[in-house]
Amino acid sequence: MLMRVLRRIQPVFVLLALGFMALLLRSQWEELQSYTWRIDPRWLAISAGAIIAAWAVEIVIWRWLLRTVGSHLPFWPAARIWFLSAIVRYIPGNIWQPLSITILSERCGVKPEATLISVILYQVITILAVAPIAAVYFALTGNWGILTDLLREATPGLILLALTPVLVFVARPSLLIELVNWALHRMGRTRLPIGLSRITLIALMAIAIVDWLIWGTAFCALAFGISEYIPSQLWTLAPHLIIIYPVAYAVGFISFLTPSGLGVREGALYLLLAPLVGGGGVTVLALAMRVWTMLGELIAAGVSALFPDRGSEALDSLPIAEPLQDAETAQERGLGEGLTAGG
> Per-residue pLDDT tens for 79-114?
999 998 887 776 665 577 778 888 888 888 888 888
Q: Decide if 108 is inside a domain.
A: yes
Residue 23 lies in a domain: no
Dmax (CA) for the chain in angstroms is: 64
Geometric angle at alpha carbon 276, from 271 and 281, rounded to 5°: 80
Q: Is residue 270 part of a domain?
A: yes
Residue 71 — φ and ψ, nearest 5°? Answer: -120, 170
Q: Is residue 10 part of a domain?
A: no
How far is Cα 157 from Cα 142, in angstroms, rounded to an integer? 13
CA angle 218, 222, 227 (to 5 degrees): 155
Q: What is the pLDDT of residue 118?
A: 87
Domain count, the chain: 1
- Residues contacting 31, CB < 8 A, separation 6+: 283, 284, 287
Whether residue 145 lies inside any domain: the answer is: yes
Q: Assign 281 a pLDDT band (cuts: 50, 70, 90).
A: confident
pLDDT at 22 over 70: no
What gap in Å lies between CA 302 and CA 325, rounded to an integer? Answer: 38
Percent of the chain's residues with pLDDT above 70:
72
Query: Residue 1: inside a domain, yes or no?
Result: no
What local confidence, expressed as pLDDT, does residue 81 receive?
92
The boundaries of the domain holding residue 194 are 39-306+327-333
- Which range is most confident: 91-95, 172-176, 236-240? 236-240
Check pLDDT > 90 for residue 130. Answer: yes
pLDDT of residue 336: 33
What confidence score (pLDDT) does residue 304 get? 85
pTM of the predicted structure, to 2 decimals: 0.78
Question: What is the pLDDT at residue 87?
Answer: 77
Query: What are the distances in angstroms from CA 247 to CA 97, 128, 253?
Result: 21, 11, 10
Backbone angles phi, psi at 73, to 5 degrees: -135, 135
Domain annotation covers residue 14: no
pLDDT band at 214 (very low <50, low <70, confident <90, very high): very high
- The pLDDT of residue 218 is 97
Q: Do 133 and 243 form a contact (C-beta atoms < 8 A)?
A: yes
| pLDDT bracket for residue 323 (50, 70, 90) | very low
140 part of a folded domain: yes
174 sits in which H/E element:
helix 174-186
293/303 Cα distance (integer angstroms) = 15
> Packing angle between helix 279-306 and helix 41-68, nearest 10 degrees?
60
Binned at pLDDT 50, 70 and 90, residue 192 comes out as low
